[in-house]
Structure 1
Amino acid sequence: MSGGTRRPDGQKPGPEGASEPTGLMDLLGVAAVLLEADGRIDMWSPQAEELFGYARAEAVGQYAAPLLLRPEHRKAALHLFGEVMETGRGWAGAFPIRHKDGSTRTVEFRNMRLTDHLGDHYALGLATDRCTLRRVERDAALSARLFTQAPIGLSVLDPALRYIVVNPALAAMHGVPEADHVGKRFDEVLSGAAFRAVEASMREVLETGVPVVNRQVVGRTAADPDNDHAWTISLYRLEDHQGHTLGIATVAVDDTDRYRAAREVERAQRRLRLMATGSARIGTTLEVERTARELADVLVPELADMVAVDLLDSMLRTARTDPDEGPPLFRALAVKTAYSTDAVGAFVPPGRLTVYHADHPAAQCIRNGRPLLITHLESREVSRVAADPDAARLLAQAGVHTDITVPLIARGQCIGVMSLARARNPAPFDENDLALACELASRAALSIDNAVLHHHTRRTAEALQRSLLPRLSPCHPGLEVAARYRPAQALSEVGGDWYDVIPLEGDRTALAVGDVMGSGIPAATAMGRLRTATSTLADLDLDPARILTHLDRITLGLDPYIATCVYAVHDPRRYRLEVASAGHLPPVLIPSGGPPRLLDLPTGTPLGVGGVPFESTTHDLRPGDQLVLYTDGLVETRNDPIDTRLGELLRLLAPPYRSVEDTCDRLLHELRHPAGHDDVALLIASVLPLEY
């Protein structure tokens, strides 16, 4: 037998194949004493030295009774000793013993007779302190009671993570009887990603000895396989008093109620955040399609995996619904999914028209004006929310299992529907989700309705504006002209910008550009009245300053409108331009042999202010010169100084020179933002020889 490293108790390890001791004997401190037949001590263990206080040299060879017993106890002890030696029957019990320090202690004994090969008898006494024994017995009893009666889950697993023991509370949590745990591995009782992570933590605790305290685990067990439960678990390594690893202990507290309450609070906060987000992000423009996309962007993926927004086509065409036109015709406005999926093909693409079958949730919502919640949708029932069989197949393949359809109601009329579905999100829609969807739909419906009304009002104003602008002939005596009008974009409506080219006597031509402050149909109407007045006044052959004076008086009667205007008269016979301004930006003159420049004009006051005289100035022109008249929408922005923008205009008009048509297009392309907030009227005239 080879010597090995010593154990913590100082003893050598056993022979190969022997198992380690449990350590219980060391815990109890069992002492061994061997007595000869006459009562003298023959052997004295180290534990006996500790229990009785006498060293081996002090005890061996001495009579046990005088050494260890008080006089009043010796007779009874000798009687018991004689009976054991005579009969060979062992004796067990507690007996008072005198310690070396003079104190009396009660010691638990196990006495038995031993016989050697010569037939001689000896008495072997195994003894331990009764207080120690009682304490161990009490601790064992308390541990057993605590383990079985504790309302929290307790278990012990061996180093291979096989269950040694579980208490009733943990067995109830797992939904597996206590007996069916014993001997099984942890992963045989509990499976799933959450429990695999727990198993990894167990192995780490076994390896490092560092405990895991108050870790939350969420999963499902056989006790309730359809619902998530939450536990707060702690793990710690079990060791004996010698430091040997016995296994791992687990403590589990069912935290499901608090977990669900926290989840409910979290969902409520999420709904509030979603409402705040919807208020900020839905309806940022007066564009119907964009408002629908904003609604879809808010809902996906926060509330739904898939969203579709449809509007009644009659709303887009006429700004009102028509309940008598037959089956409702929908125009798709927006479709969005939280992830890439073929299920997007189940929805009508934006811009397309469709008629849903009578049982489709969208058709039902339009008929009764009430939302529809389907909490659980079996795959065979997906056709209820699909437009056709192909759409039903795509939705079923995607795993759609719950659906909400909400009417879009604005000003008391149902103008469309919003449809939501979940597929990857396993939670079914509930009443709280429905309430949130209805609230967001209500806000979006009003924004969409406003956008539709704006669209129709704008279209009417734009049509009116264009109808009031002249149809220009490109050629006039001594001039080639080109003009452009662009209505405002973004949130603004059509404004009151205009241009005009008016033939006069003597081959002269009047050029006018103006801007009525304001927007919409009233501004367009005011613009039409001023343009008509300008044409009428031009026939009186008045100079530009007097024309503006008369227009100023007319504008005063259009309260509350004011307008700016540039009015110029070109005389091709004298190559002369006479011009006056009423608070308008100066025209640009592009000489045929030099750089472009702003005409130096008295600015004047806008039309409608009244009481301020206007002044005409005269400028000489040559063939090849160009004159650019424009409204402020071409050069003004919200962020750039006007001088910077006018400098950019002059840069774009620098040589090489282009045709008047090309110049118009270039200026609009380079200077005007696609979402410009103001109208633009642009008029360019190029001077030609009169004989041309």
Structure 2
Amino acid sequence: MDDTRDARSHGAPEGELRTARWATGVLDAGGVVTRWSAGAEWLLGYAPADVMGRAAVELLWDGQGSLPGAARRSLAGLEPWSGRVTARHRDGGPFEVELLVCPLRDGDGSARWLLAAMAAPEGAHRGGSVTERSFTQGAWPMAIHDTELRLLRANARMCQVVGLSEDAMRGQRSGFLTGNPADEQVEASMRKAIRTGEAEHAQTFTRAAGESRDQAWAVSLSPLMDETGRVCAVAAAGLEISELYRTRERLALLNEASIQIGTTLDVTRTAQELASMPLPRFADFISVDLLDSVLRGDEPTPGPVSGDVRLRRVAHESAHAKDAPEAAVDIGETDTYPEFSPPARCLATGRAVLTGPWDTDYFRWMDRDPKRNAKRIDFGVQSLVAAPLVARGNTLGAALFSRRLHPDTFTEDDLILAEQLAARAAVCIDNARRFTRERGTAVALQRSLLPQGLPAQSAVEFATRYLPADADYGVGGDWFDVIPLSGARVALVVGDVVGHGIHASATMGRLRIAVRTLADIDLPPDELLTHLDDVVARLASEDTESGDHDVIGASCLYAVYDPVSRLCCAARAGHPPPVLVGPDGTVEFCDVPAGPPLGLGDLPFESAEVGIPEGALLVLYTDGLVESGDHDIGAGMDGLREVLSEPSPSLEATCDTVLGTLLSGHPADDVALLVARARALDADQVVTWELPAEPALVSEVRERATAQLAAWGLAELTFTTELVVSELFTNAILHGQGPVQLRLIRDRTLICEVSDTSTTAPHMRRARVFDEGGRGLLLVAQLSRRWGTRQTPTGKIIWAEQALPADRPADRPADRTAA
């Protein structure tokens, strides 16, 4: 017989079955168990097979039939009896029950006994069985909820955690269901355990009564089933894992710091990442202050820094307001921290400092800085940690972590975490500082190697662009140059060194200097490239001997434009051809013979002359402009032709349009671009005389030169010009071969050129006392700003330049062209 069904049919709550369920059994006349209900099994833990055929007295605590005297007398008289006895639970512990014994008589007159028992109400709480005691006295907080998640039972530890009695919580959503948003996981897991009948696990946070901070709990949820196998309740047991949880949180924060701090090699960006990453989990406000030397890329101060410290605010961030109203120092401003302030103290000791309203030095710091003290009053500070930024033994600055709304104050463990965050950020900041210094060195090198502020030329108006493939360092191996030559001519140069970075940039600088040196002796383009080829081969050999196995290779385009003849002579070594854009907008690639790259020494170089109409554009470029991974150089050159066919308001605009159209994003290879508009000297700026090589014509040459100077309004230069013309003409007669040509060019300087058919070039020397000659070129050199010789296909030219009078500037075709 089992009264459990009766209890349920009368509406007894399933959660109360533990105390309302009856256990029934039948004994024969000898006291042996003949019937045993499921309720009896549930109450005492014995299955029918365990007790059937055994004497009932064995189920009592002492096993000796220790019944009260009244019970024995009633049973002897075959009368009913009820009272409390101590039974033995199957787990071995005593268990108090309320027992009812009724006599029964069979039809044959034999006696039997009906037993009905239920747990004594206070007996369960006093801990009759080991199972019950483990629940009530357990060190873990435990509770039992019904299927509607209402609390049925709670042990003493749960009551202590929640701060309520069991009676106050019974029938309520309590225990680990306190309405905290973190309890959602517990509720979901409870419902899943009820639905599936399988154990679940969850995690939640509860602030125990009398505690100042939340505690983390790992909650184990076990479904409880009735005799039909249906889930009727769920048991919850919690294990406090606060320290484990906080340790895992710190490790997770450090792991995120290693990923999110130092994503770039920029000092300011790295400092901002430190100020932003730990918010709001670790602090409400974070600021980063650095020494000025770190921002400049200089070597920082080694070891601790003592005394008052002047730092510059680089970054700060608030967890609660975008504009960081808590900040007492604006970004970019400097502040002096007294030696007793937290930042100065952490820099002096090299360890993090914990401070707050309980610290007298904290208030000394506030009182010394009215602005900072006003911020403290407006926003308040619960606690503050100052951590030093130290990397490789060098002090870089300090980071401040502040809490004002955070539920917990900083602890000693938080000091360690702040030091670790600052240490990781300091290494990244120091790497960025080193990169800043190295990049500054690289950029200074690049600027010193590339032409800066090229002087204006009468022959061309030009614009240039340079884009390195190495975006970090901003240096590469491509270069351009505009070199003034004798006779108002100009050399246009574009070159490309194999590779990127510092090594390519250094090689480029050596080649650019070599080109300028060779251009200074007025070599024709093909001869210049031949000499430059030898230079590249020698550099490669030197690097190989020194153990540097980087490949040195280069290409170059060298073109010389003469504004008098309007001819351009060009040669190229492994380089794409120049582009000529006519005044009418027609675009064509100049037919300049292709030569091998520099350094191979395989084939000779050839040059070609191209007529250049006045106002036409010459476009020189490196292959990085027209060649990339998504198209070949042919498609790139077609694109360049198309871009240049469109009119443009200026050369600068032309450069921008070309780069913007042909390059998407940062180039994969270095790019150098030179766009030059050709000019021509007016006819009245040049005068030429063809004369026979006769000494008697020297005086006539002087007279012609004097008359021309008067026509140009340059009479002040008559004396020096007569001496120069006489010496150069006489030198051509004596040492050269006729006929002789004299040409005067009035440009930014006065140029005097004498040419003959001899290829022998004169050399200036120091004449001895009794020498009859050897003083002419010395005289020319002293009277002229510069002089020299250059070879021509039919001989040579000796030239000299004189500066124009300061109050008589030369006519500037550039101005007329621009107008």
TM-score, with normalisation over the residues of structure 2?
0.58
Match of 1:538 among 501, 509, 519: 519
Counterpart-to-counterpart distance in 2, 1:326 and 1:200: 54
Counterpart-to-counterpart distance in 1, 2:222 and 2:606: 95
Given residue 363 of structure 1, which amino acid in structure 2 is its aligned partner?
Answer: A
2:112 aligned with 1:106 = yes
Using the TM superposition, give the Cα deviation of residue 319 of structure 1 relative to its aligned residue in structure 2, in angstroms.
0.9
Using the TM superposition, give the Cα deviation of residue 583 of structure 1 relative to its aligned residue in structure 2, in angstroms.
2.0
2:179 aligned with 1:193 = yes
Counterpart-to-counterpart distance in 1, 2:334 and 2:538: 48
CA 1:379–1:612 in 2, change beyond 3 Å: closer, same or farther?
farther
Using the TM superposition, give the Cα deviation of residue 379 of structure 1 relative to its aligned residue in structure 2, in angstroms.
10
2:435 aligned with 1:444 = no
Deviates more, 1:210-219 or 1:569-578: 210-219
- Contact 2:158–2:175 (CA under 8 A) maintained in structure 1: no
Counterpart-to-counterpart distance in 2, 1:678 and 1:93: 100
- Contact 2:288–2:315 (CA under 8 A) maintained in structure 1: yes
Other structure's SS at 1:329 match:
strand
- Contact 2:476–2:499 (CA under 8 A) maintained in structure 1: yes
Match of 1:356 among 334, 337, 343: 337
2:557 aligned with 1:566 = yes
- Contact 1:283–1:448 (CA under 8 A) maintained in structure 2: no
Given residue 606 of structure 2, which amino acid in structure 1 is its aligned partner?
Answer: E
Other structure's SS at 2:180 match:
helix
2:535 aligned with 1:554 = yes
Partner of 2:46: none
Partner of 1:123: none
CA 1:253–1:660 in 2, change beyond 3 Å: closer, same or farther?
closer
Match of 1:331 among 312, 316, 319: 312
2:269 aligned with 1:290 = yes
CA 1:441–1:392 in 2, change beyond 3 Å: closer, same or farther?
farther
Given residue 351 of structure 2, which amino acid in structure 1 is its aligned partner?
Answer: P
CA 1:422–1:105 in 2, change beyond 3 Å: closer, same or farther?
farther
CA 1:451–1:636 in 2, change beyond 3 Å: closer, same or farther?
farther
Counterpart-to-counterpart distance in 1, 2:606 and 2:21: 122
CA 1:568–1:193 in 2, change beyond 3 Å: closer, same or farther?
same
Counterpart-to-counterpart distance in 2, 1:214 and 1:145: 29
- Contact 1:215–1:234 (CA under 8 A) maintained in structure 2: yes
Partner of 1:464: 448
- Which structure ranks higher in relative contact order (CA pairs < 8 Å, sequence separation ≥ 6)? 1
- Contact 1:283–1:447 (CA under 8 A) maintained in structure 2: no
Counterpart-to-counterpart distance in 1, 2:22 and 2:502: 103
- Contact 2:585–2:647 (CA under 8 A) maintained in structure 1: no
Given residue 442 of structure 2, which amino acid in structure 1 is its aligned partner?
Answer: R
Using the TM superposition, give the Cα deviation of residue 490 of structure 1 relative to its aligned residue in structure 2, in angstroms.
2.2
Other structure's SS at 1:371 match:
coil
CA 1:297–1:629 in 2, change beyond 3 Å: closer, same or farther?
farther
Deviates more, 1:446-455 or 1:595-604: 595-604
Counterpart-to-counterpart distance in 1, 2:472 and 2:606: 37
- Contact 2:555–2:574 (CA under 8 A) maintained in structure 1: yes
2:240 aligned with 1:253 = no
Deviates more, 1:667-676 or 1:406-415: 667-676
Counterpart-to-counterpart distance in 1, 2:182 and 2:263: 47
Using the TM superposition, give the Cα deviation of residue 183 of structure 1 relative to its aligned residue in structure 2, in angstroms.
8.9
Match of 1:405 among 383, 386, 395: 386
Match of 1:651 among 628, 633, 642: 642
- Contact 1:170–1:252 (CA under 8 A) maintained in structure 2: no
2:491 aligned with 1:510 = yes
Match of 1:374 among 354, 376, 396: 354
Q: How does 1:204-603 map to 2 (within 5 A)?
A: 216=202, 217-222=204-209, 224=211, 226-228=213-215, 230=217, 232=219, 251-256=235-240, 259-260=241-242, 262-264=244-246, 266-267=248-249, 269-271=251-253, 273-274=255-256, 276-278=258-260, 282-285=262-265, 287-300=266-279, 303-317=282-296, 319-321=298-300, 327-341=308-322, 343-346=324-327, 348-368=329-349, 370-374=350-354, 388-394=369-375, 398=379, 400-427=381-408, 428=410, 430=413, 431-465=415-449, 468-469=451-452, 471-476=454-459, 479-485=460-466, 490-517=471-498, 526-559=507-540, 560=543, 561-603=552-594
Q: Give aligned-pair identity as a percent.
A: 30
Question: CA offsets, 1:91-117, max 9 Å, x none?
Answer: x996754323x584434xxxxxxxxxx
Other structure's SS at 2:584 match:
coil
Other structure's SS at 1:315 match:
helix
CA 1:164–1:662 in 2, change beyond 3 Å: closer, same or farther?
closer
- Contact 1:462–1:487 (CA under 8 A) maintained in structure 2: no
Using the TM superposition, give the Cα deviation of residue 569 of structure 1 relative to its aligned residue in structure 2, in angstroms.
1.7
CA 1:389–1:159 in 2, change beyond 3 Å: closer, same or farther?
farther
Partner of 1:621: 612
Using the TM superposition, give the Cα deviation of residue 372 of structure 1 relative to its aligned residue in structure 2, in angstroms.
1.2
Question: CA offsets, 1:345-402, max 9 Å, x none?
Answer: 506444333333333333334444x131427666998668879443454466556534
Other structure's SS at 1:346 match:
coil
Counterpart-to-counterpart distance in 2, 1:452 and 1:398: 37
Counterpart-to-counterpart distance in 1, 2:598 and 2:181: 81
Counterpart-to-counterpart distance in 2, 1:410 and 1:199: 43
Given residue 106 of structure 1, which amino acid in structure 2 is its aligned partner?
Answer: R
What is the aligned-residue RMSD (CA, Å)? 5.2
Counterpart-to-counterpart distance in 2, 1:678 and 1:651: 21
Counterpart-to-counterpart distance in 1, 2:329 and 2:616: 56
Using the TM superposition, give the Cα deviation of residue 250 of structure 1 relative to its aligned residue in structure 2, in angstroms.
7.4
